[in-house]
């Protein structure tokens, strides 16, 4: 008989705990929990947690912004690199001797057939030219 009594006593606190949790939920939904003195003591901590949450969200936005900016810069670098390679190959083609000769032919310039001659001036002639 004592065992039955002990089992009944053990079950009663469970019902009490369930009713406490139901009343706790009712207090939260109705807003009655805000009128208790213990909530006033916890307010600074709640404000701190709110501040940390806002900082966390702002940090997430900044990280996304940075990632988008890096992606955009990488695409721009790839475009500029391909443009550089294209311009470099065009320049190499245009600066070939045959292409330069073809381009200058239109304005009346032509390639030298004989090598250039070196003009040698003695020191006396150099002084004469500079003094005149």
Q: What is the mean pLDDT of the chain?
A: 84
Note whether residue 83 is domain-resident.
yes
Determine the Cα angle at 101 with ends 97 and 106, to 5°. Answer: 155
CB-side neighbour CA atoms (13 Å) of 36:
10
User: Coil, strand or helix: which one is 106?
Assistant: coil
Note whether residue 110 is domain-resident.
no
In degrees and rounded to multiples of 5, residue 65 shows phi and psi of -60, -45
Domain extent, residue 38, equals 14-104
Structural domain total, the chain: 1
Question: Each residue of 85-110: pLDDT tens digit?
Answer: 999 999 999 999 888 888 888 888 88
Note whether residue 21 is domain-resident.
yes
Question: Each residue of 26-49: pLDDT tens digit?
Answer: 777 777 766 777 777 888 898 999
Angstrom distance (rounded) from CA 75 to CA 77:
5
Question: Each residue of 110-125: pLDDT tens digit?
Answer: 888 888 889 899 999 9
pTM: 0.48
Note whether residue 47 is domain-resident.
yes
pLDDT at 59 over 60: yes
């Amino acid at each position: 008989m004592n065992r039955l009594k002990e089992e009944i006593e053990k079950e009663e606190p469970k019902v009490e705990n369930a009713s406490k949790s139901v009343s706790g939920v009712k207090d939260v939904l109705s807003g009655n929990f805000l009128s208790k003195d213990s909530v006033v003591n916890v307010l600074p901590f709640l404000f701190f947690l709110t501040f940390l949450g806002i900082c966390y969200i702002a940090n997430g936005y900044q990280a996304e912004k940075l990632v988008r900016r890096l992606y955009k810069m990488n695409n721009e670098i790839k475009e500029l690199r391909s443009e550089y390679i294209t311009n470099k190959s065009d320049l190499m083609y245009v600066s070939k001797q045959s292409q330069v000769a073809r381009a200058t032919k239109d304005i009346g310039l032509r390639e030298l057939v004989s090598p250039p001659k070196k003009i040698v001036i003695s020191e006396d002639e150099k002084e004469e030219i500079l003094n005149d």
